[in-house]
Amino acid sequence: MILISLLVFLIWQLPYFGFIQYPLLLLGTWFHEMGHGLTALFLGGKFYYLEIYENGGGVAYSSVTGSYLNYSIARALTSAGGLFGPAISGALLIAAARNRTTARIALWILLSVMVLSLCIWIHDLLALVILSVFAAILFFIAILRVRNLEVFTVLFLGTQCVLSTYLQTGYLFTKQFQRNGKTLYSDTQMIAEYLPGTYWMWAIFILILTLLLLYKSYAYYLKKK
């Protein structure tokens, strides 16, 4: 666990790993945008499709009209879903890596969700290519049935997902940004639009919960069997 965490940290800090950083950045964006879309679905809304851009950004097109929750709460939760998506997914993968059987199950679930997103929610070429490569790699690892490799893969991806919050810390504390000449609100500002509080207050709250998820998943993984 310590070595993998160090490996993930070094990948993002050293310039020599640029060829690995970019696909992992896009994978993190996929987790983020899937978090938005799946949250909308779970709340009774709709998830139309997602886009991933060359600069690592992305957007998920969804609607919470018809949700079983209050519209404002549903919109706020959908915005938060993208911020918590990588952290929750990563924590579950880390916990699953504690056991070889659950690691294998987690690997197949992740692969299935990835293939499902390729078939239904991903339309742009860049995302199709990158996610197809990741899906092919995961499928190859899964059919090899090398348990230690499966555990390593699940643990690496889980750690990568949770620590990707480190990469979006600046975005958490951003109120608005420019894209294609348009001013857009960040996810934390969108939460503040529909719930009490400011964007930076929600950023602090989300960061604390993410760190708590990281601690709990590491503690569970390291707990004596």
3-state secondary structure of 62: strand
What token pair was written down for 161?
Answer: 């997902």
End-to-end CA distance of the chain: 15
Query: Closest Cα to residue 48, out of 31, 60, 57, 36?
Result: 60
Mean pLDDT of 200-207: 93
What pLDDT is recorded for position 18?
67
84-131 per-position pLDDT tens digit: 888 899 999 999 999 899 999 999 999 999 999 999 999 889 899 999
CA distance 166 to 169: 5
What is the number of structural domains in the chain?
1
Are 74 and 67 in contact by the 8 Å Cβ rule? The answer is yes
Average model confidence (pLDDT) across the chain: 89
Examine the pLDDT at 174 and tell me if it is beyond 80: yes
The parent domain of residue 90 ranges over 2-222
What value does the CA radius of gyration of the chain take, rounded to a whole number of Å? 17
pLDDT of res. 171: 85
Give yes or no for residue 2 having a pLDDT over 80.
no
Concatenated DSSP letters of 17-30: GHHHHHHHHHHHHH
The pLDDT of residue 177: 86
Residue 161 sits at φ, ψ, to 5 deg, of -65, -50
State mean pLDDT over 71-87.
93
DSSP 153-173: HHHHHHHHHHHGGGTTHHHHT
Query: pLDDT per residue over 12-60, tens digit each?
Result: 677 666 678 888 888 989 999 999 999 999 999 999 999 999 888 899 9
